[in-house]
Structure 1
């Protein structure tokens, strides 16, 4: 029976009670009037008993429903409220029991539907949180930078693999441990904590010192940054310290570039100083009137050579600056015969060849096709390769210069009898300011010539590479497209 029907029956019983009382009052009034008109008392008694029976029945039904109706309505509501509280609590319950087929049962079913939707939304939110957590954890674990998180009590909450590797500690020996206790046995962590323990503004991000950490491939350099974490205290409405983030940024590449820059400056200073000193000495001898005329001619020729050397070096620097700024080599492509390029390059380096008494073995097939190239830049590349070969060849040695068709390209090779270049440096020699050790067979130059040559040949659509195996000399080769 539904609550609505029970309430209607209760109202009907009350109406019967009121109807009985009204009828009884009506008959009482009639009895008084009947006494005045002589109506039989027996008839009146029968009517009164009937009315009393109806009044009694209505009274009993009204009292019963008056007592039971609150229980009928309130008890299922209390049970529903208790079930909802149990489901909302931390226990395992996830549904409200539906034990009645009435309005309360409908409310319970609706509550279950809302709870199911909330459970689905909770699962989706939880899945998203797990995905975001895993993503952040993967990001932190894969960082090339060391990361340490220390809370306001000084406990280590997070240490990624790079930080563990730098400290030489396993993660399980760091996480949850007081940083001061770990620092007592770990000198590197003790140095990391120095900026943390130094008084500083609460919002400051401190730039710590640079640390050099030994590794298998040499030293690695890390820059320490300490960030102060703040949180809002709702009770005091003030910002309070919540810990520190220690970030160790790997600056090994920047340190290496800085060392390369210093090496380049030292090398280029030496390269500039040598011809300048030679020019200065030659000028002093030219000013001396006792210097013979033929010696003056030789000194003037030497000044010209050194001046050309300086001009080539300055031109290399200008070309490197333009290429590093995003520019591309400007090419004036035209059909070029390699015999002309080789002849001009050999004429240019002939004084160097004579000075070291080097012989050149030339192998140029007469049927060699012309190439599509910039005459000036191609000649510059060949002169640079020949100059390097002369520099590292022993006195009285031999150079080999040969060319041959190479599919749709023409390949030109310069072979020397120098100390050679180790295989691990074959690509590095074409980089800017290459830090190749001298004992590898290459060193002492500005580190620009091969880099510029590589850019020139690549702009032509060709390739430039080296084949070498110490101590059997080096062979530099490049290709250029055949002219159409």
Structure 2
């Protein structure tokens, strides 16, 4: 049998069995999507995927490794299917199941999933191999699927099937919403538009109705980017939300879905002109950049004066004076950290944030940060388990900033006396750091938005003030290392923030390996 280089996969320190080697050799060239999950790690993370799985889902390998396979299920219920998968994994058995999954662009596809356990000679479960096939086309032959898809569309668009079917109500809806709305046939002929669309693009109704979308006068508005967007996301099979694109001089936020109109399945585009909002956002960034720089210099001077005063006051001075100076220094420290974060945001926006890469012990860095916070928050229990890497090439200071922020977040949203668990792991040619708390949790609808600049959940903001930049900065730092940061949570049930880092940077000659 042809041998496969173990280091190419490096699932764990366990020896690869003959059966696994055979499967990898055979299935790596398969057109079917292939994943392998490591059952020895918490939450069964994916440690291997083939190119076909990347093509199937739209996610890159960097975005896949370290996740549990359920990340493809989005917010879909799939209760019965999930229960079957859960029971199969628990029993260490083999099964085949059809389940609704979602690609990176948000489009639904039906996945025929075959799960096969890999065990050692003693029967201990080591890995699960998952083989995925897109069977959406077969499912589309069944009219019942259209009803199921319509339920998903109804959630995205916030309207009921009967509402869309009623033409009078549809017209009322089109003229009520602020977005520009187009309803297209499957071959992209314009069937309906609303007044907002006509005003936004300065075009008359008789110039667009019954015209093909890309035959409209391009001199007045450039549609090529929009066409590229539709082609890219295969609009006839997709549900797509909040994609920002440029059409001419306008910045547009586009939603794409499907509706039944006169018993025909058609395409609906909801377009919001965010050009002015983007300009306001740019001006805000400029202001924060200037303000942060202007504040930094006098703040440094104030800090120096306080430190000098602390050294100059006599030992017999009043304790109240000493406490006042200490508190003033602590608050200036907080303000300096805030200004530093704002400057980081500015650097990220302008692409000027740079990494100072060097070799360091990543595990030791995590232990050091955890130890710092244990001392500062002795009423919390911070546990660390696992192993990732004692030799990693990256920006130690920046990655320390990420771990520090994630841990501070966990402490902030966890009741006093709570537990926080850190798990370090090595998954194929990636390392993974996971931080779990049992605090407020994050509702599914906010789980992507919390990594946006200045985003704060309204209910949380009232109880826990902040400006919402820490997760944004952390996400960008991890991305600049070629990794991925994400959260798994449910409101009121705590949260697990995880990030993966490749052991070898793209365009790097030097690979991260253990000493």
TM range (shorter): 0.3 to 0.5
Which has more strand, going by share of residues? 2
Which has more helix, going by share of residues? 1
Q: TM-score with structure 1 length normalisation?
A: 0.41
Q: TM-score with structure 2 length normalisation?
A: 0.39
Q: Computing the radius of gyration over CA atoms, which structure comes out larger, 1 or 2?
A: 1
